[in-house]
Amino acid sequence: MIKIQVMKNPEQDTIIVSGHSGYDVEGHDIVCAGVSSIVITTINAIIRYKNDLIEYESKSGYVKMVIKHDEIADLLIENMISLLKEMEEKYQKYIEIN
């Protein structure tokens, strides 16, 4: 299961995405691919906008992001969380957002 933790603070948010969905075998797992695409696209968008707003760490089955608050960065994060919640609704056995 992919677990997504969202920790909001006044100065910055921390988001941790960890695990593998187990929906299908590696290379054929549309749930992992979808989550990865959403998260990586959001990270890249924030970096292109203002790279000093985000720090992130990424390895297989794990991404940690620390994002400073900014109007556009906050909108991008809200969008990411909204998309991940839509995936959670459809694939409840494979994604959990806290």
pLDDT in tens, 52-98: 999 999 999 999 999 999 999 999 999 999 999 999 999 999 999 99
Q: Is the pTM of this model over 0.85?
A: yes
Query: What does DSSP assign to residue 26?
Result: T
Query: What whole-number distance in Å separates Cα of residue 16 and Cα of residue 14?
Result: 7
Query: What whole-number distance in Å separates Cα of residue 46 and Cα of residue 48?
Result: 5
